[in-house]
Structure 1
């Protein structure tokens, strides 16, 4: 017979065992927001009594932290209750404050500004459905996952690889990201460098979603199908600004054979140690991702001999306002050549020396055969 009360399955199992009733928590399903608003209103009222009765001891400025906390933990509808109680306290404080009318007006203006900030904070939290700092922690974790997915795995003997991502204006979110996958017992490397439309935080949400989707494709589909599958995914999203450029590299770490395909992305560069120079791989170009469905992406092949290197990068590395693109490419290749000669970090060197500086996202990945 079914019972309305819950019983422990383990306690029901043995005939001689002790039966222990599991009761639901007294506060299960309680609306925490209701209790929070009560606590905050009580705090405001207690503060109001203090500033009115002992105005020379209790400062009115204590309402500011209460307002900030209210904006963080309350939804806008309940925040209005706290704001109303705070306004009543401030209005009651004014006549007994024993300060000049000009300073009282200044306090009123300051309180109104902080109230407005609390409303903005509450609306922002309501949009993402979190309270307190939970939303910040969530985005920080997602950002760290992007960084981790672009971390180049340890390379086998005879190979080195480095990557670098620098976002516009120092933002922690970037429209550029790198994906790297090492498989077949460390004998084959797949790399994708993607540049999402927009830059910095504005492109961060699309970058978060796209990095997760493409990270699942990398190594799961044949290399020749990676950009096609990525394009189909972006077309299905139907984003208003949903396009992206990308470059995909497959590298056999036993033979040094590589295959490169580009989707509207700047041409990769290859360093030939025998001639001590960098050159661009202009073949293997296809359209940008997310615009035309069902397109194919041609690939260009080659081989990295000992001392050779391969560099992929985003347009922020070579583009700049009032500068010709050819100048930007020449500058990047010059920096890369000097970095190779001194055994430096090619990816970081070309990112840091980009003429676009903080105005654009920059990303690069370099692989070199020792």
Structure 2
């Protein structure tokens, strides 16, 4: 069996082949659907008990998935003409309710296709591209393999179980395996729009991570985000660096909730004091970091605001609840990020992410 990277590479190549085949077969697919539409109309006229006009709705849905904008417009126009002909025929005339359903289907398909065209997502290749974007974002968040004595775990969940999340993380082991760097980011917005921005930022931040001293990472990330000039061009982030030989850590935040450190020896959970504006708001940022050392059994917990912010509840109360969960799920037993998310019972109306790094 191959490595996860090999499997991901084969999956990406398979998607590329499918996209190419869909693009090349577009004229044949359109011609086939046009012929099917005519055949369906003839079948309805000849055998109205076996073939019903509402079958045009299914044909339109298939066309919306397979065809690009112009070919789909032609298919919709053909369906309208064929239905009008059926009405004029008399015996096979569709009922008024069926005509209303077909008309609504035509409008809905055109509106849906027009929006996809505006986003550049046309036909089946567009749908495959979205899947590819989602998979790439998930692949960027895979945690690296750490040396013996260290465990890192992460769990990222999107609002309402959507395919795309505004929360993402990027991690890397640098300096010949001696240092771990993790950045957890919360992009403004939710859903597909936030997911597209997350994909772009994850690629940029992945390139910056480990390529410069830790104290320069957040300023460089801020400069990149400011340069994008997005309408919703801000994001919060927390950047963690750990020396895997000594356990020395450095944490800096940019408008992000404060990380927590579990001290196994005393059982105390410390909320780290950090300061820094959100990324993309000011031209220059100079975050104030927090430093310390992780001893055997200690753990550091990173999270996004969706974990501690809920409607009708103060953020400080949410953080207190999180600390209680960390004490029971991480300190009392070797739980991970999934256990923390399950314990806080955060609502699913916002993206949520937790990262737990533990020194064994």
TM norm structure 2: 0.87
* Other-structure match for 2:181: 190
Please state if 1:48 is matched with 2:41.
Answer: yes
Alignment partner of 1:74 out of 67, 75, 83: 67
Alignment partner of 1:242 out of 211, 221, 233: 233
Q: 2: CA distance between counterparts of 1:253 and 1:33?
A: 53
Q: Bigger CA drift: 78-87 or 204-213?
A: 78-87
Cα-Cα RMSD: 2.2
Please state if 1:292 is matched with 2:282.
Answer: yes
Please state if 1:337 is matched with 2:327.
Answer: yes
Deviation at 1:332, TM superposition (A): 0.3
Shift >6 Å, 4+ stretches:
none
What does 1:257-296 correspond to in 2, within 5 Å? 257-283=248-274, 285-296=275-286
Deviation at 1:97, TM superposition (A): 6.7
**Helix, strand or coil for the counterpart of 2:111?**
helix
* Other-structure match for 1:361: 351
Number of residue-to-residue matches in the alignment: 338
Q: 2: CA distance between counterparts of 1:40 and 1:190?
A: 53
Per-residue Cα deviation, 1:234-291 (whole angstroms, up to 9, x for no partner) = 11111111111101011001000001111111111111112102111113x1111001
Per-residue Cα deviation, 1:180-208 (whole angstroms, up to 9, x for no partner) = 10123322100000011112334112111
Alignment partner of 2:210 out of 219, 226, 250: 219
After superposition, the Cα gap between the structure-2 partners of 1:323 and 1:355, relative to the gap in structure 1 and judged at 3 Å, is farther
Deviation at 1:130, TM superposition (A): 4.0
* Other-structure match for 1:7: none
* Other-structure match for 2:300: 310
Contact 2:185 2:238 in 1 (8 A): yes
Please state if 1:171 is matched with 2:154.
Answer: no
Deviation at 1:52, TM superposition (A): 1.5
Contact 1:278 1:333 in 2 (8 A): yes
Q: 1: CA distance between counterparts of 2:204 and 2:169?
A: 13
* Unmatched tracts of structure 1, length 5 or more: 1-29
Alignment partner of 1:93 out of 80, 86, 89: 86
**Helix, strand or coil for the counterpart of 2:344?**
coil
* Unmatched tracts of structure 2, length 5 or more: 1-22
Q: 1: CA distance between counterparts of 2:89 and 2:27?
A: 32
* Other-structure match for 1:327: 317
Per-residue Cα deviation, 1:283-327 (whole angstroms, up to 9, x for no partner) = 3x1111001112222222100011111111111111111111121
Alignment partner of 2:122 out of 117, 131, 134: 131
* Bigger Cα Rg: 1
* Other-structure match for 1:4: none
TM norm structure 1: 0.85
**Helix, strand or coil for the counterpart of 2:221?**
helix
**Helix, strand or coil for the counterpart of 1:60?**
coil
Q: 2: CA distance between counterparts of 1:132 and 1:156?
A: 46
Q: 1: CA distance between counterparts of 2:24 and 2:339?
A: 53
Contact 2:234 2:278 in 1 (8 A): yes
* Other-structure match for 1:12: none
Deviation at 1:107, TM superposition (A): 0.7
**Helix, strand or coil for the counterpart of 1:265?**
coil
* Other-structure match for 1:23: none
Contact 1:162 1:345 in 2 (8 A): no
**Helix, strand or coil for the counterpart of 2:280?**
coil
Deviation at 1:209, TM superposition (A): 1.1
